[in-house]
Structure 1
Amino acid sequence: MTVASARDVGVTHASGFRAAAALARPTALAAVVVVYAATLHAVYTGLISGPFAYAGYTVVPQPWQDQVLATLVAVVVALLLPARITRASDIVLWMLFGVCVAPAILMPGYTGYLTSIEAMRFALLLATAFAAAAVAVGWGGDRVGSEDLQQAPAVDGGGTALDTVRIGSRVVDRNALAWVLCAVYSAATYGVMAVTTGFSLHFVALDDVYDVRAAYADDLSAGGPLGYLLSGQAYVVNVYVLIRAFARRTWPLVVLALLGQFVIYTTTGFKTVLFSIPAMIAIAVVLRRRRPRSGAPLLLGPVLLMLVSAGVDLLQGSITWTSLFSRRFIVTPGLLTSVYADYFSDHPVALWAKSFTRLWVTSPYDVTPTKTIGQYLLPGSQVNANANLFADGYANLGTVGLFVIAAVLAVWLRCLDRWSRGVPASVVGVLVVMSAVTLSNTSILTAMLSHGLLVGTVLVAVMPRRGWRWFDRDAGEGPPA
């Protein structure tokens, strides 16, 4: 009798521990989302809306019940995202949630462009579309980790089958192919830059980048391929050279990649090029471990960004860093999403008639949706009010457009997962993160063609699977760089 009772007590305690462990993750994640929502609201209402009210950064009181409901919707979406980072799509989904989807869910209720009911309706639609994309990406998908490299079959000449790719009847070494693609792309980019804008090697202070950017825009006004090549070079090709050379300890190539980024920054004035390096280092460090990492740290990143920027500005009595980081990367996508929802709920949708359907669809507008919204916010201006991929979908096809874009996103992420099999998730994450982040302020088609997303996807498909030891301690050393 006593033994049976002790066993029952042990089983009860074990069940209690398992129940507590099962509740720990959703509870912690919900807490992170609540902190995110509170920080976003405080930064927007306390630091941003006042100085930038002239540009449409308005604020209205929001009932606490609406705030709680919007936060609850964001929590539910977060709980539907991958619990552990094991694939490239996991990283992209968490990054999009942190810089794009969460602000678009949380902010419409207090920006003043939508009524309380309209804001909640749109938040629920957006949350449903994004959650559906996340579920579709993981549905029936196998989670192949880098440890599977150790079991890959050998091929003639050594290495593993994953180190080669078949092109027609030829078997090509992935390492060599990736370097050839990078070399050709770099030659094209810097060659066109040399004849279009020239090179600048003088460091540009952050306060002076707008003059440099204006000069760069003037140089591109005549057209040409540089606008399509440059982001792919800065966000993908130079990044690949940097991380591959670092993983293989090829220090001259590390210096060459950093020099390439420096030239692009000083020539164009694009601050994202300068800040992309510490951002990628932070992601690599966060994701570098043996066991799969939770996605929560990727959501804490925007929180820390907002808090640190606000703290520095409060100490300096300025708004510089909050404007540079919080306003540009997090607040503006959320704000503009509510503006798009407001405008295109009462006006005709654009049907992508200024984009890929222009040959057979007539646009109801004289300008693109981004300029239409720019004129709506600031009458008489020529501002391009770029919003995120879901706002673009809503502008072009209404509610249906949200789910069309979600489907396109899911298809791309499934392709990314399939084509990156065998590559450590942290490597793919570092390689595509900057291009993926541009989805927070542009359409998915523009991100593909003009911001390096397509280039990154192709490079992921052909890059070597081995030789990433620093980024994944389970990855094989592989052949020389």
Structure 2
Amino acid sequence: MTKFYYNNFFSVDFSRAKTEIKRIGTTRIFVVIGIIVYLSLLIYSYKEVLSPEYSYRGYVIYDKKYYYSIFVFLFSVFPSLWMPVKINRPSQLLYWLLYILTYIPIFWVVYYSVEMKVSSLIWLHSTLFISFGIIYIFYYLPHLSIPRPHLTWNQYGLCVGLIAFALLAYVVSTFGFRLRLLSFYEVYTVRSELKQTLASASLAAYAIPWLGNVIHPLLMSLGITKRRPFLFIVGVIGQLYIYSITGYKSIILSIALFFAILIALWRGGRYLGLLTAWGTVGLVGMAILASFVTNISLIPYLSVGRLIITPGMLTGYYYDFFSQYNNIYMSDGVLSFLSDYPYDLPPDQMIGAVYRGDASIHANANMWADSFANFGLTGMLVFAVILGVILWVFDSLARNRNRKVAVLMLGLPAINLSNTALETSMLTHGIALVIILMYLMPPESTTRRWSGERVEETA
């Protein structure tokens, strides 16, 4: 073994470094192959499985120039050459989710589902590519040094408990307490009741997602990492309660996503890229297979269609509409004091009315669609910088904290970035609350490095 020492401070093990580089290179190849297979299955599911059955829902196919499909393919796959193959910072799981659930669908679904000239689409796709790369640049920056309080775990637990109690008390006083699994038909009745209640109890629109996206997943993650089964059970029961009063299937799916993230963190997250890419291949592949076996297209629609394809399609609608009409400049929200809102309907309902003929449809879209609606292509770049700063701050706060808890805390609310605006994900869906709770979290006495190979002592 070749090893050199310098000033007795550190050593360079060239044999080990060579082996690690070779391993990462091999992993990278399989990650890229996984993304290509995922793309192939996604295109097949859209064209052959979903489009014939759900064209009335916008799953249509418009012919484009053949050469542009090559551009779309190359720029869809290209980020897999720099995507992290293992976790070095907790927000890198969010970055992978953005790539799988948002970036790739915007390229391919918009390519098929929106009737626009290639000369117009290329601006959207090129700007998306640049903005996605901008976010990754922040992973090269050193951690920030942020002053923070020094709480014990008992004090931290008291803070989390008080927040949870206050939120839960408000929700229970508003909706009552009931715990049951809803049938498919009951879901829509419960959602209708929820909408009516929120009209008179607007704070519940924050309390419910803060519980479902932040507090309950935090209890579940602490229950796993601290080996406290009671906390995990309380978190699961809490999610079932939120589902009982909202009918949101995403709450039930969040429990499955929780375990999926745990699998992605196997061996310290060393195989994040492989497990994410091929795990998505498995999801899409099983949905297609299930539709063949059962002859029921609803299965791929609810899994692949609603989760992956629809957000991409809605981005195309936003781009098409706001390429022709005035941008909003956040006049419907925080910047309403600067200018008047130029439309009669909110953006999501307006898109539903124009492209689906129904203003009751809330066509919520992802951060890039929303940023384009507000500020055009420049907005997509600016909001990418803002998200990069947010992730940089979170990763800095998560340093020397429980790494598994940090990933689980951010991973669940971050999934909403695929179908909601950045500011909505921050405030309503709880990413801001996650950052606050990470800021207060005590350090670990021992923290495993992301490679899972060594344990280092931390202050």
TM-score, with structure 2 as normaliser: 0.88
20-29 or 61-70, larger mean C-alpha shift: 20-29
Q: Alignment partner of 1:50: what SS?
A: helix
- Which of 108, 114, 117 matches 2:116? 114
Q: For residues 211-230 of structure 1, what are the structure 2 equivalents within 5 Å? A: 211-230=189-208
Read off the aligned partner of 1:172 and give its amino acid letter: L
Read off the aligned partner of 2:233 and give its amino acid letter: V
- Which of 325, 341, 347 matches 1:363? 341
- Alpha-carbon deviations, 1:362-406, whole Å to 9, x = none? 122122221221111123422111110000000011111110110
- Which of 23, 39, 42 matches 1:40? 42
2:278 match: 300
The answer to whether the 8 Å contact 1:386/1:441 transfers is yes
1:100 match: 102
- Alpha-carbon deviations, 1:150-190, whole Å to 9, x = none? xxxxxxxxxxxx9xx854xxx432x2343223212221222
The answer to whether the 8 Å contact 2:174/2:201 transfers is no
Are 2:117 and 1:139 equivalent residues in the alignment? no
1:267 match: 245
- Which of 55, 66, 69 matches 2:68? 66
239-248 or 462-471, larger mean C-alpha shift: 462-471
Read off the aligned partner of 1:58 and give its amino acid letter: V
2:233 match: 255
- Alpha-carbon deviations, 1:330-380, whole Å to 9, x = none? 111111111111111111111110011001211221222212211111234
Query: How far apart are residue 197 of structure 1 and its match?
Result: 1.4
Read off the aligned partner of 1:140 and give its amino acid letter: L
Paired with 2:373 and 2:128, the residues of 1 have a C-alpha distance of 13
- Alpha-carbon deviations, 1:52-108, whole Å to 9, x = none? 222222212345433232121022222233343110121111111111111112222
Query: How far apart are residue 471 of structure 1 and its match?
Result: 11
Q: Which has the higher Rg, Structure 1 or Structure 2?
A: 1
Q: For residues 366-381 of structure 1, what are the structure 2 equivalents within 5 Å? A: 366-381=344-359
- Which of 264, 277, 280 matches 1:286? 264
418-427 or 253-262, larger mean C-alpha shift: 418-427
- Which of 126, 129, 133 matches 1:127? 129
Read off the aligned partner of 1:51 and give its amino acid letter: E
Q: Alignment partner of 2:96: what SS?
A: helix
Read off the aligned partner of 2:350 and give its amino acid letter: T
| Percent identity for Structure 1 against Structure 2 | 23
Paired with 1:464 and 1:341, the residues of 2 have a C-alpha distance of 44
Q: Alignment partner of 1:201: what SS?
A: coil
Query: How far apart are residue 470 of structure 1 and its match?
Result: 10
- Which of 456, 461, 464 matches 2:434? 456
Paired with 2:350 and 2:159, the residues of 1 have a C-alpha distance of 38
The answer to whether the 8 Å contact 2:144/2:393 transfers is no
Q: For residues 33-432 of structure 1, what are the structure 2 equivalents within 5 Å? A: 33-135=35-137, 137-141=138-142, 167=149, 171-173=150-152, 175-290=153-268, 292-432=270-410
Paired with 2:448 and 2:175, the residues of 1 have a C-alpha distance of 37
Paired with 2:269 and 2:254, the residues of 1 have a C-alpha distance of 26
2:6 match: none
- Alpha-carbon deviations, 1:86-144, whole Å to 9, x = none? 10121111111111111112222211332233223311111111111212x12332599
Paired with 1:214 and 1:19, the residues of 2 have a C-alpha distance of 55
Paired with 1:96 and 1:468, the residues of 2 have a C-alpha distance of 31
Paired with 1:462 and 1:288, the residues of 2 have a C-alpha distance of 26
CA separation of 1:411 and 1:219: change in aligned 2, threshold 3 A = same
Q: Can you give the 5+ residue segments of structure 2 that lack an aligned partner in the other structure?
A: 1-17
The answer to whether the 8 Å contact 1:244/1:468 transfers is no
The answer to whether the 8 Å contact 1:111/1:335 transfers is yes
Paired with 2:345 and 2:241, the residues of 1 have a C-alpha distance of 33
Q: Alignment partner of 2:338: what SS?
A: coil
Query: How far apart are residue 33 of structure 1 and its match?
Result: 2.1
Paired with 2:216 and 2:23, the residues of 1 have a C-alpha distance of 42
Query: How far apart are residue 467 of structure 1 and its match?
Result: 7.4
Query: How far apart are residue 30 of structure 1 and its match?
Result: 2.6
Query: How far apart are residue 294 of structure 1 and its match?
Result: 4.2
CA separation of 1:71 and 1:29: change in aligned 2, threshold 3 A = farther
391-400 or 417-426, larger mean C-alpha shift: 417-426
CA separation of 1:49 and 1:21: change in aligned 2, threshold 3 A = same
Query: How far apart are residue 262 of structure 1 and its match?
Result: 1.1
CA separation of 1:291 and 1:97: change in aligned 2, threshold 3 A = closer
- Alpha-carbon deviations, 1:17-49, whole Å to 9, x = none? 999767545433332221121111111112222
Query: How far apart are residue 410 of structure 1 and its match?
Result: 0.6
RMSD of aligned residue pairs (Cα, Å): 2.9
CA separation of 1:20 and 1:139: change in aligned 2, threshold 3 A = closer
The answer to whether the 8 Å contact 1:99/1:302 transfers is no
Query: How far apart are residue 286 of structure 1 and its match?
Result: 1.9
Paired with 1:323 and 1:238, the residues of 2 have a C-alpha distance of 28
Q: What is the aligned length? A: 441
CA separation of 1:138 and 1:251: change in aligned 2, threshold 3 A = closer
Paired with 1:247 and 1:17, the residues of 2 have a C-alpha distance of 31
Q: Alignment partner of 1:370: what SS?
A: helix
- Alpha-carbon deviations, 1:272-294, whole Å to 9, x = none? 11111121111112213147334
Read off the aligned partner of 2:434 and give its amino acid letter: G
Q: Can you give the 5+ residue segments of structure 1 that lack an aligned partner in the other structure?
A: 1-15, 145-161
1:150 match: none
The answer to whether the 8 Å contact 2:86/2:269 transfers is no
Paired with 2:235 and 2:228, the residues of 1 have a C-alpha distance of 11
The answer to whether the 8 Å contact 1:125/1:399 transfers is yes
Paired with 2:57 and 2:70, the residues of 1 have a C-alpha distance of 28
Read off the aligned partner of 1:50 and give its amino acid letter: P
Paired with 2:433 and 2:277, the residues of 1 have a C-alpha distance of 26
The answer to whether the 8 Å contact 1:235/1:434 transfers is yes
